[in-house]
Structure formats: structure tokens, C-alpha cells
Amino acid sequence: MTVRIAPAPFEPARELETFARGRVDVGGIASFVGLVRGEHAGARVLAMTLEHYPGMTERQLERIAAEARARWPLQDLLIVHRVGRMLPGEPIVLVATASAHRAAALEACAFLIDWLKTRAPFWKLEETPAGERWVEARAEDDAAAARWQRAAE
């Protein structure tokens, strides 16, 4: 299980290759790659800077990863999340899950991205032609995360 904050650009394909290499204990790997969009909320995005809370970020990602492993039979999982300034098209986040069967891998992957969007302390600052603006939290993201809420919570 690997959780990593990346202050410099990373290559999802290379990360996935390393993640999958030599594995004979899994039936499949599910992955999600989030990219910086070149357009958002009606404005061109020239660049984006991700701020985070060092220490707490890692702790929250570890906790979310542990929760995924408790809920699904995963052989392994990987989270890489960029911080700092990046350009449209650059990867922001990579989530990968490895399991004996696809349902567990796919569900856990969706769970991880939904939860990290609402539970890990990252903040997006966009540079647009009109100036800088902080991205606002979306109700849709809260709703997406809420669908994984268990009755006990």
C-alpha cells in the first residue's frame, strides 16, 4: 500500500507499470487519473496550484486507504497526489487498486477518489485570464462521497 504526495510531475503510466509489475496474485487493477482541465466554470484555466496541509494530508490519505482495505479484499493500492503548480493536461491524482476480482478493484477505486476529494486537505487555486480564483467545493462531490457512508457512521 503506497500513498505519496508528489511535489513534481509524475507519469501515471509509469506508476501503473511499477504497481502491476510481477504481480501474479491479482486478477485485475482498476485505476483513475485526474487531470488539470483547461477550462472550468466558464473560464480558461492557464494553470492550477494545489495547496495542502503537510502531515495531515498524508495522515488522511493513509486513513482513507486503510478504510478501502477494510471494506474490499485488495491485494494492494496506490495513491499519488500532486501538489504545487501544474498546467492543463497534467495529472493531479492517480488512484490504483489491485484485487482478485474486478468488482472489488473498481468499487474501491471509485470509493478512494470520492473520499479523498472530500476528506483530504487539498485546495485548488486556478489561474485564469481574469486572475486567480480558489475553486469552490462542489455539492456533487459531497453527494458522491456520501453514497459510501455506512449506516453506522
Partner 1 sequence: MRIRYFAWLRQRVGVAEEEVEPPPEVTTVAGLKSWLGVRHPRFAEACAAAGVVRAAVDQEFAEDGRSLAGAREVAFFPPVTGG
How many Cα atoms occupy the beta-carbon half-sphere of 12 within 13 Å?
17
Q: Give min distance, CB of 119 to partner 1, in A.
A: 7
Q: Give min distance, CB of 41 to partner 1, in A.
A: 12
Binding of partner 1 by 134 (CB under 8 A): yes
Q: Which residue, 105 or 116, has its beta carbon nearer to partner 1?
A: 116
Binding flags for partner 1, 88-107, as an x/- string (CB under 8 A)? ----xx--------------
In angstroms, the Cα distances linking 144 to 30, 139, 141 are 18, 9, 5
Tell which residue, 44, 66, 57, has the closest CA to residue 129: 44
Binding of partner 1 by 125 (CB under 8 A): yes
Binding of partner 1 by 55 (CB under 8 A): yes
In angstroms, the Cα distances linking 25 to 101, 111, 112 are 11, 22, 21
Helix (H, G, I), strand (E, B) or coil at 79: strand
Give the footprint of partner 1 on this chain (CB under 8 A): 34, 50-53, 55-56, 59, 81, 92-93, 113, 116-125, 134-137, 141
